[in-house]
Chains A and B, each alone.
Chain A
Amino acid sequence: MRVKRPKGIAPFVLVVSLTACGSQQPAQQAQDSSLTWAIETQPLTLNPQQWGQNKVRLLVFNQFDALLSRQKDGTFQPWLAKSWKVSDDGLTYTLELRDDVTFHDGTKFDAAAVKANLEQFLVPGYNPGIASIQLKSFARAEVKSPATVEITLKEPDALFLDFLASPLAGQVSPKSLKAAKDLKSGGPDLVGTGPFILESYVRGQEIRYRRNPDYKWPPAGAGHQGPAYLSRITYRFLPEAAVRVGALTSGQVQVIEGVPATEAAMIKQDPGLTYQTSLNSGTSFSYYFNTAHAPFDDQRVREAFREAVDVDAVLKAVYQGTATRAWSVVTKGGPFYDASLEGSFGGDTAKANALLDAAGWKQRDAQGYRVKDGRRLTVRSVASAPFVRDRRDILAQAIQAQVKQSAGIDFQVKIVDQGTAQKAYTEGEYEIFENSRGDADAGAALNLILPGKGPINRTGFSDPDVEKWLAAAAGSASLDERKELYAKVQRAVVKDKAIVFPVYVPADQIAAQKSVQGLGFEAGSGTPRSAYDVRIGT
């Protein structure tokens, strides 16, 4: 995947620094520029350590910096930590911190701040989910010197570095951790070290930031150094896609994210606009088969369902050629993707019917559905409405029509409130569970979904080999070794056991007025990145 680097940025900096020669002011402060960006999703919280919505990463990293930054190939680069060392036993992490960083409230960022931020997660009730999953192996943090912090783990955890590069490791001023009025929801009084300072937040309307004039510690790989180009940025919340696009084309906002397939072609054709897209990391949007009961306890039926769907045709119909087909539970957007799975399943109607015949679903009823022992071949999908996005309801309807026509499968789709969905999951009243996760490290998602006792294992599938590989990958510091182990996992659940039906790779889109430069996606997660590099060019 290409991540567009702003072209012509070097000459621009040169010109600006020449014009700024006479003054003492940093170049970027001389110009006053502001921008309005319409986004789809409202943050539930502005505290990075409570973050859970992938779509609001772009907001988090305006106001806060993490300790490390994650690259597309899965490796890590310096951010607030200049360097880090992991002991041979994988238990001790020694971080050398930048010593020139200050929080927005004027306090200094140092080893004590890192320790305070980590220990905040141990406060009961602060964030139980993170404390018991991402930070489960955290034992203690020690201040070795003002710029050196030593973190000790209870057991090796390959995902710990990913935690240090996530919004959850966004560094909050310890002073504001104590003084913030509403710590968990965050706000202007919960301050970080980021390139922008949160000015105001009107729920349902907008969030405003102004430039942090002292900023000079962007993550490795940033498009420039020094303070952000924009003096102000406003994010407007416009949940309706058609309204976002209209606001962009009429010039009321300069940037939007979340462009529906139906509008993408129109934007691409408009000479005044730019359009870019990036695949997300994490897991593909997949149908997970519930193997705990009939009919998907029979592998032939699981394979038949996948063969009954012509995925390419369905995606084309629903997303008009803008969706990327998935071949594995892990997305193409991340480093662990096993490309050898491509073309290994799907779209063979004859095979689907042969498999179902072999599995004993031979008869058909009056409506053309297959039956066995008087029972119809019915599979149900229950989805919780808040998690249905990207027109996944329409996608399900398209798949429903296909499996009926090509193989006589009765696929029922229900979109319900979260409580009803949870009840169905708890009671096993479903045959298909649909899910995608945007974790920058796919390992985090696989650990939740694939082990027999995984917190969101809704397949009833458990396999000692898969669990062994997942555990080994989580304990290994070697990227190559992890790739190999996750490839084995993918082959097992996609090819050998047919537990998942990968459908498409979730992606993010940004559309903007041509004059806006420096927009792009985070290398690690594939989601839109912060406004640090964004500028209005000529």
Chain B
Amino acid sequence: MTGRPAAAWGRGVARRLLAALAVLWAAASASYVALLLAPGDTIDILVGDGPDTPEIRARIVAEWGLDRPEVVQYVAYLWRLLHGDLGRSYQLQLGVGEVLSSQVGPTLQLTLAAAGAGVSLAGVIAVVTAGRGRWLRGAASAAELVSVSVPPFLIGLVLLAVFSFTLGWFPVSGASGPQALVLPALALGLPIAGVLGQVLRGGLERALEQPFAVTARARGLSEPRLVARHALRHALIPAVTLAGWFTGTLLGGAVITEVLFGRPGLGQVAMQAVTGRDMPVVMAVVLLSAIVYVTISTLLDLAYRAIDPRIGGRP
């Protein structure tokens, strides 16, 4: 490696890091402003459906520092963020950092397992069915369509009814062991497998019609080896791009899946916070998802270069 590409690479990384910071700042500010503009007064929300007297209101204002101008509250919020202080949950009366840190683990487990299940299912189905007979393709296509179009809630309920309530293979709730992870990961992973499978098979089939595939066949390469060694790499680019999309699916789907299966996790916390308008928690969850997106897109960028070295030429 010569000096110049390395320097260019370093600049590229620095630029990406700056961009990531900007994205995070924008996410923090946008969620702050959105919550500020949303109807209803913070004090009203804190009072909720309970007793409401001027005395109670005064105490709440003092407790949460709501009497300061919004700009001051905003700057103070950013300042605290910079120091790693996410504030205190209105509803749970706990530090937000504490709430999230106890819930990140289970969600991470669930989303990784779901992504793993989704990606491997999609890969296997695509490789097995690409360019094969019509009925096999048709069946796979239909299954994919169903898994994409049926709401995750319903998929989860059906999986529970069959594999937990009737067959008794898996427990319904908890994050106690690997067994309890299977059904939620499947419920969350099936839609991903559906979309990814379709894209991957399409890509494979296009790649198999390319001149290089004809050449390889002429060299006597067997069809499975051709798919695995050559075509897959071409089909991966659109599939990897989709990974960004499924990160979103995972975060959104985790809310439903966690509630349905009675699992701990960010999804449950986020939902409770949004319905209860627990601003500090909502904003922390927004920030966290922004961090996840930024990280994933950076990793994807690196993955592109690994899959197709031609992309690496650009800084």
Interface residues of A (CB under 8 A from B): 38, 42, 44-45, 47, 50, 52, 124-125, 128-129, 132-133, 182, 184-185, 202-206, 236-240, 242-243, 246-247, 249-252, 384-387, 417-423, 426, 435, 448, 455-456
Residue of A with least CB distance to B95: A182
CB distance from B61 to the nearest CB of A (A): 11
Instruction: From B48, B160, B172, give the contact of A418 (CB < 8 A).
Output: B48
- Using Cβ atoms and an 8 Å threshold, which residues of chain B touch A240? 157, 259-260
Residue of B with least CB distance to A435: B49
Per the bound structure, the CA–CA distance linking A44 and B269 in Å amounts to 11
Per the bound structure, the CA–CA distance linking A247 and B62 in Å amounts to 45
- A205-B56 contact given A236-B173, A384-B49, CB 8 Å threshold: no
Instruction: Fill in one digit per residue for B66-102: 1 if any A CB lies within 8 Å of its CB, else 0.
Output: 0000000000000000000000000111110011001
Whether the Cβ atoms of B93 and A421 lie closer than 8 Å is: no
CB under 8 Å from chain A, chain B span 156-196: 157, 160-161, 164-166, 168, 171-175
- A125-B59 contact given A238-B262, A417-B277, CB 8 Å threshold: yes
Whether the Cβ atoms of B103 and A418 lie closer than 8 Å is: no
CB under 8 Å from chain A, chain B span 252-290: 258-265, 268-269, 272, 274-277
- Using Cβ atoms and an 8 Å threshold, which residues of chain A touch B261? 243
What are the 3 tightest A-B residue pairs by CB atom distance, in nearest-first order? Answer: A419-B40, A184-B93, A204-B264
Per the bound structure, the CA–CA distance linking A38 and B261 in Å amounts to 12
Instruction: From A47, A205, A420, give the contact of B173 (CB < 8 A).
Output: A205
Sort chain B's interface into a size bin: 35 or more
Whether the Cβ atoms of A203 and B99 lie closer than 8 Å is: yes
CB distance from B276 to the nearest CB of A (A): 6
Per the bound structure, the CA–CA distance linking A227 and B276 in Å amounts to 38
User: Does B220 make an interface contact (CB < 8 A)?
Assistant: no
- Using Cβ atoms and an 8 Å threshold, which residues of chain A touch B240? none
Instruction: From B99, B166, B174, B275, give the contact of A417 (CB < 8 A).
Output: B275
User: Does B223 make an interface contact (CB < 8 A)?
Assistant: no
Whether the Cβ atoms of B262 and A243 lie closer than 8 Å is: yes
Instruction: From B40, B55, B260, B277, give the contact of A128 (CB < 8 A).
Output: B55
Instruction: Name the prevailing secondary structure of the A interface residues.
Output: mixed
Instruction: From B44, B91, B106, give the contact of A422 (CB < 8 A).
Output: B44
Whether the Cβ atoms of B50 and A52 lie closer than 8 Å is: yes
- A455-B262 contact given A247-B173, A250-B164, A386-B275, CB 8 Å threshold: no
Whether the Cβ atoms of B40 and A456 lie closer than 8 Å is: no
Interface residues of B (CB under 8 A from A): 38-41, 44-45, 47-53, 55-56, 59-60, 62-63, 91-95, 98-99, 102-103, 106, 157, 160-161, 164-166, 168, 171-175, 258-265, 268-269, 272, 274-277
CB distance from A60 to the nearest CB of B (A): 16
CB distance from B154 to the nearest CB of A (A): 11
Q: List 12 A-B contacts (CB under 8 A).
A: A124-B59, A132-B53, A202-B102, A203-B99, A204-B103, A205-B174, A238-B262, A240-B259, A246-B160, A246-B165, A418-B45, A420-B40
CB distance from A520 to the nearest CB of B (A): 25
Instruction: From A182, A206, A246, give the contact of B174 (CB < 8 A).
Output: A206
Question: Besides A132-B56, A243-B157, A418-B44, 9 other CB < 8 A contacts?
Answer: A42-B272, A44-B91, A132-B55, A202-B102, A203-B102, A238-B262, A243-B172, A243-B262, A252-B164
- A455-B275 contact given A182-B94, A203-B269, A204-B263, CB 8 Å threshold: no
- Using Cβ atoms and an 8 Å threshold, which residues of chain B touch A251? 168
- Using Cβ atoms and an 8 Å threshold, which residues of chain B touch A129? 47, 50-51, 56
Whether the Cβ atoms of A426 and B92 lie closer than 8 Å is: no
Residue of B with least CB distance to A36: B173
CB distance from A274 to the nearest CB of B (A): 19
Per the bound structure, the CA–CA distance linking A184 and B89 in Å amounts to 11
- Using Cβ atoms and an 8 Å threshold, which residues of chain A touch B50? 52, 129, 455
Per the bound structure, the CA–CA distance linking A476 and B55 in Å amounts to 26
- Using Cβ atoms and an 8 Å threshold, which residues of chain A touch B47? 129
Per the bound structure, the CA–CA distance linking A362 and B308 in Å amounts to 75
Which residue among A50, A129, A456 has the maximum number of chain B CB atoms within 10 Å of its CB? Answer: A129
